[in-house]
Structure 1
């Protein structure tokens, strides 16, 4: 060991401390995980996180590849090829009809109130109510089945994953209502424009921020090689704001020409179609039942969560 004050000791003191990769699970990350994601993307595209007990990848190219690569196992998204095995036969026209009917019933219940919480009074009910109507089960029974983890027996594994659709819908409505320009653009917008807004919301603030997978063998990614048989955390929230993939990635851009959400896969799946229909008819029903709908004075939606992320409340004045 070099004596204090020696040239060697002074040189050691002047060496910069080795930077340690931040973790999405660190205290404070739930309020704004995107600062952590930025550091990981730029400086630690491949790192092992002791809190997650997994390797972490955060760049869009790596995350998107991992979600589609058969060398990654354990888990899938609605719309990915393996999920077709769990589908029940569902008529998309019937899905559209029940999504529309359920959204309008819920919106009319809220319309006469001086204040309402759209998370508790609308987003919590629409996904389960739509599934219940689609499969012909009374809503009260569907909620009991969901709590008992038995809904997939009736609705299929993907469609029965109601909590993700709840969070996605809450985040979508928060994005729209927090921006008066978006409210005006989407109030009487065609379905195609609403679909673009829905995809942009899923990209910018995905309801599932972290997806877990496991490698079948060694896999090359940015920053190195993932070992075989290793758990891997895919930071979907980080990938959605990768500036190497998206122009001005932190901005909600309704007319974005470089879309690329990763919450849902690209394949045909009732859950993917149903989530989009719920978003479409949610806006239509809310704006028709409450033409002056706006956020309550002084309220700003704040998404929270680490693995999944959405606002816990969305307080509005139905009468404006």
Structure 2
């Protein structure tokens, strides 16, 4: 890097919040306010990146209408644990690979083939605690549900759930290893080898004898004469387990943490289940599962607060941008009824929040996450109509790169053996 951003003042730069500090991990939102107001562009030495925190800047990076940004950062950020993925591709190569995987995550196929899988997995998990009158929603449901759904969609053995969960937890730790801990890095690279040893034989068997599952569809799909290699499919499955597991896990936990903290909004959602979409969209804005996504500059770029040189890493602080005062009214308030967030477009590339990114790299699994959240929240509310936090418990988030509640003990009056919905 040859130039530094023209920050407001040198003293301001020296007093900017440190995203690797314990204080930031405990509560990043105050730090985000300071950044947006006084240091919208920070050269962060420890991560060798430029931090941006304002909505207009993060939106510009994600949309990238001028071709100023690339995903070359994923070469070192995710390839060591996943292999080369669709996130690293551009142009026709990216368009073809996305066309190969996208159909399973679109409306009709998702609804007809995979919604029953989602509903069944939610029901089976809830059946294990519906009569108990108490549970930890994170441990008993949120951390298990999305991984089981993805394993079921792929036609993998759900008895291997603990292995899948351990792998994606290690991968997420690798992605969030901003301080460069060598043990975390080594564990992530071991996971790539272990996952490949598990998946490649499964992929080869599925090529020989395809079934009616997503993995078979990936093995047989063809667009413009291009088919996915074993390595392509393995990398995509690894990415799907990690990204789809971690984000939906934290989203479901956060939705309930937010609603339980706002009983009147919880009551509204309980009475009108069409509000689940709004609750999910507002949770994605207010407490997004992923707080930062990186990009690389292809050219020198002017952003709020100064200049970023070509070839630099830009850390887009989603958690900060989604609470930007210039974009949202009273942004530090959770409000599923807010008028400056559009629920109908919240799960598309036209979203007016940044939790799924935007543009050509908009999250391909957004509709899957929506379907999982709708099914999960519906069935949980049916099974626990008077759900409330355990006495004296105050939910708290943990994490820097990804963030959400690690525990959510609740109490409820048990109802019938089966939910009315699903």
1:24 aligns with 2:38: no
Residue 234 of structure 2 corresponds to which residue in structure 1? 153
Q: SS at the partner of 2:334? A: coil
- Summarize the Cα distance change of 1:60–1:176 in structure 2 as closer, same or farther, 3 Å threshold: same
Q: Is the contact between residue 128 and residue 143 of structure 1 (CA under 8 Å) also seen in structure 2?
A: no
Contact conserved, 1:92 with 1:270, CA < 8 A, in 2? no
Q: Look up the match of 2:51.
A: 56
Shift of 1:141: 3.2
What is the TM-score when the length of structure 2 is the normalising length? 0.66
1:300 equivalent in structure 2: 394
- Using the size of structure 1 for normalisation, the TM-score is 0.86
In structure 2, the residue matched to 1:137 is 156
* Corresponding residue to 1:289 among 365, 383, 387: 383
Offset from partner CA, 1:119-145 (integer Å, 9 cap, x none): 111001110111122222221235535
The answer as to 2:173 corresponding to 1:92 is no
1:23 touches 1:51 (CA, 8 Å); kept in 2? no
Which of 114, 118, 143 pairs up with 1:124? Answer: 143
SS state of the match for residue 51, structure 2? strand
**Structure 1 residue 89: Cα displacement:** 4.5
Deviation at 1:230, TM superposition (A): 0.5
Gap regions ≥5 residues in structure 2: 1-8, 75-85, 168-193, 200-232, 342-351, 415-422
Instruction: Call closer, same or farther: CA 1:116–1:155 in 2, change over 3 Å.
Output: farther
Q: Secondary structure at the match of 1:96?
A: helix
Moved beyond 6 Å, runs of 4+: none
Q: SS at 1:67's partner residue?
A: helix
1:211 to 269, 284, 293: 293
Equivalent of 2:269 in 186, 193, 196: 186
Offset of 1:164 from its aligned partner?
2.0
- Confirm whether residue 101 of structure 1 aligns to residue 120 of structure 2: yes
Partner of 2:302: 220
Q: Which residue of 2 is the match for residue 261 of structure 1?
A: 353
Structure showing greater Rg: 1
CA distance in 1, matches of 2:401, 2:235: 27
Match of 2:250 among 167, 178, 181: 167
Offset of 1:265 from its aligned partner? 3.9
1:71 partnered with 2:64:
no
Q: How many residues align?
A: 302
CA shift, 1:157, in A, is 5.8
- Report the equivalent of 1:202: 284
For 2:100 and 2:330, the matched residues in 1 are separated by 38
The question of whether the paired residues in 1 share the 8 Å contact of 2:195 and 2:238 is answered with no
Q: C-alpha distance in 2, partners of 1:121/1:100?
A: 16
Q: CA RMSD in A?
A: 2.6
**Is the contact between residue 57 and residue 233 of structure 1 (CA under 8 Å) also seen in structure 2?**
yes
Unaligned stretches of 5+ in structure 1?
1-15
Q: Deviations over 1:156-204 (max 9, x none)?
A: 465332222212221122112222112211113233x211110110111
| C-alpha separation in 2, matches of 1:269 and 1:54 | 23
